[in-house]
Structure 1
Amino acid sequence: MSLASLFVVCRFVHFASVMQLFGACVFSRLLAPAGFSQVLTGKNQTLILASAVLSALTAFLMLAVQAGVMGNGWADTTNPTVWLLILMTTFGEVWRWHMLLAVVALLVLLLDGLPGRYLIVLLLSTGMLLSLALIGHAAIHQGTMGIVQRSNHGLHLLSAAYWLGSLLPLLSCMSFTHQPAHRAAAITTLLRFSTLGHIAVALVVVTGVINGLMILQHWPSDWRSPYWLLLLAKVLLVALMIGVALFNRYRLVPQLAKQPEQAQRNMIYVCWLEFALALLVIALVSLFATLPPN
């Protein structure tokens, strides 16, 4: 595998893990009612910890791979001097803080007795997502336009992270609807997710369109461009995700009252499908984010 390919893979795993970390913390700590929040957090503890571990590891791995890409190949991936040079670039000025946030989030999770540690991790993961909006294609403008672009992309990442990162905790929450002691709280959590989910999906679409217009700045002149083709594929996948989400909410959810077991089984299948589609979207973004937007 080439360094360029490895960077795409690392970028994919990193973005997915950071989004999962954010979404799982939001779902477990903010959407769940008091009391049930602790139960749901315990259910998703392994998922949250694994996301934090992957976020921290891939943050450093991306720096190492970047050093190799900008240096003299594989040998420079472990060269401290090249690492320091990378950290002095525009990318590095953002990435040093990003890595610090990732490490602190992992350390906080490892402190079992720390009060409010999941809320702290939520804030740290928010900072990680916002810092990702300061690099790459979404940071090509300067001045006022640059502030608008970065702010818009930050909101895009937060909305997408809520959508993607909540899917697995959603599945775990559904299992509590069969338990009388937690049924009411679980249903309340699911309803809150659905309400905010409509807003999150709308924000993903609107901010995505704005972000695309600000990056591309013109209508495509060559549809054979890899960037354009991958971007089009992403748009189609997001549209499919929205269709799946609408089917889940407005077709399967009403069936819970008539055929609860069958409806919930179908909802689980649909959630897994939506999660798989979300990973494909992140994979596409990780790839075309390394290509020139022409």
Structure 2
Amino acid sequence: MSASYATPPGGLPPQTQLTTSRAQVQNSFAVIPRGVMRDIVTSSLPGWTGARAWVLARPLTGFAETFAQLIVELAPDGGSDAPEPEAMGQGVIFVTSGDIRLNIAGQDHALTPGGYAYLPPGCDWKIRNSGTGAATFHWIRKAYDPAPGLDAPAAFVTHEADIPITYMPDTDRAWGTQRFVGADDLRHDMQVNIVTFAPGGCIPFPETHVMEHGLYVLEGKAVYLLNQSWVEVEAGDFIWLRAFCPQACYAGGPGQFRYLLYKDVNRHPKLTPG
């Protein structure tokens, strides 16, 4: 089945539109619907040209604690030669529209929708819109947490079409994950994967775990359990879930339900603040 990738609508709704929406922020989760990702809530980024960003999550007490997630839109030839401002910042790029030229240590890589790149801390990388129309991508950032005896991961570039779906056992291929990094690769302290549900597929129990999540719906629609609330979500929505927030979902059909999922992994819990 072919993939599609939601992007923010931008623009501005008409004055006649009702203000009621599905947007909500709770102590354990937040829902940012696609309809609120408009022009007036974008940010410009220092060191970037021809760029604007929807900031979906950032490290902040009471909200995302481990990561930042941005949707960056580049005008033709827009981009940056020094994108990452923090020495220990690592990132994942996932392209949802347009044509991106990503340069890593002097080597160019062409990324189209579905293109994925991991960029370790200290990586020398540059990014540019190489097409004639707007290009959009997710930029997920986390401060790297070194571990004794482990080197930092290397940069890599791939495409989701080259990553097979690993289906959950006993689900008859109704629920699967494309893992861009092996679960046993302890060099990585975060994972950004794509989760896919067939119509009617579900998470059959309320997952309640230590990992924090950022979840961007790429395609389809579902009903999602967030703590004690069932919330309808659709392509273009973003959900943040703090650690231990109970979560489950039912995919609504008629097509597949897919999302880009961030989680923090593979590190000991810290016993001192900060």
TM-score, length of structure 2 as denominator length: 0.25
The structure with more strand, counted as a fraction of residues: 2
The structure with more helix, counted as a fraction of residues: 1
TM-score, length of structure 1 as denominator length: 0.24
